[in-house]
Amino acid sequence: MGRFAEKYGPWAVVTGASAGIGAEFALRIAERGVNVVLVARRRNRLEELASAIEDMYRVEARVAPVDLTARDFIEVLQPVLSDIEVGLLVNCAGFGTTGPFLDMDPGVQEAMLNLNCRATALLTHEIAQGMQERGRGGVVIVSSVSGFCAARGMAHYNATKAYGLIFAEGLAPELAAYGVDVQALCPGGTYTEFQAVAGLDPHNFGPLRRLVFTSPTRVVATSLESLGGRVTVVPGWLNRFLVFTMRLVPRPVARWMFGLLMERFSANR
Ligand SMILES: NC(=O)c1ccc[n+]([C@@H]2O[C@H](COP(=O)([O-])OP(=O)(O)OC[C@H]3O[C@@H](n4cnc5c(N)ncnc54)[C@H](OP(=O)(O)O)[C@@H]3O)[C@@H](O)[C@H]2O)c1
């Protein structure tokens, strides 16, 4: 058994495992010798990934096709988790929307709140209890560079990502006393299905997109290398520079700058 598996225990739960950053987390955690529970709605995607993981690595992969916006999602997940020791939880499932808040479907906004915030809080509460009792474990909450600053056109999404960031930063010292590592992972632009869902277009950055965008591989490598070290992890020097600048300048200037950046990013501009 490798050091990672020894530190975090036999099982990990990864939400949002059917695509993008979550699928990459599942692969890289399995590669380190930890069994994985894959959570998302698209069963076929989860089954394909589970079978690829079991073929490539000597671990078990369970699928849990669950809608995390459902009120009773914890009860639906409980039977899948009842007989295993979960030592690592990656709260990755999430989506974003762009446009003026009042033009948006309130039902979609409620789902975003439920997924990006409520599901993260409830799942962490459910799973981290066992970690606290055992005195080991890890919780990753996937926030975003967007969590550091407001932006017009992404008012509500950025607020949900600020929730994850602040939640993780407060939880980290609470759980550190029990040997449980908590990380707020704050990626910037990452090539996944996120952009198509949110109505963003990386091509709007022209050739600069090579600088601005990165791959899920790099994001997840940075996260797993940093787990147990820094609490707030911003992958990529340009993103760290952006976050640093946003903290340095007055808040109205920061949100004007970030709003401008997001406007450029919007597919409908
Ligand atoms: N990509 C970026 O540029 C970027 C930047 C900063 C932060 N992030 C954050 O990174 C996280 C992962 O996003 P991604 O970029 O990997 O996007 P993605 O490729 O669109 O993946 C999103 C994942 O969330 C799952 N999901 C969506 N709605 C769900 C629901 N109701 N119940 C359960 N699972 C659900 C999706 O699976 P199903 O559709 O199968 O349910 C999918 O597995 C998000 O929290 C996002 O806010 C992304």
CATH number of the structural domain spanning residue 28: 3.40.50.720
Residue 112 CA to residue 11 CA, distance in Å, equals: 27
**Residue 176: its pLDDT value, please?**
97
Q: Is the CB of 97 under 6 A from ligand 1?
A: no
Residue 228 CA to residue 171 CA, distance in Å, equals: 13
| Predicted TM-score (pTM) above 0.75 | yes
Domain extent, residue 182, equals: 3-265
Residue 232 CA to residue 161 CA, distance in Å, equals: 13
Q: Is the CB of 220 under 6 A from ligand 1?
A: no
Question: How many domains would you assign to the chain?
Answer: 1
Stretches where the chain sits below pLDDT 70 are 1, 267-269
Q: Which of 41, 80, 195 to mutate to test the pocket of ligand 1 (most atoms within 8 A of CB)?
A: 41
**Residue 35: its pLDDT value, please?**
98
Residue 61 CA to residue 161 CA, distance in Å, equals: 28
pLDDT in tens, 83-139: 999 999 999 999 999 999 999 999 999 999 999 999 999 999 999 999 999 999 999
- Does residue 123 contact residue 89 with C-beta atoms inside 8 Å? yes
- Does residue 16 contact residue 49 with C-beta atoms inside 8 Å? no
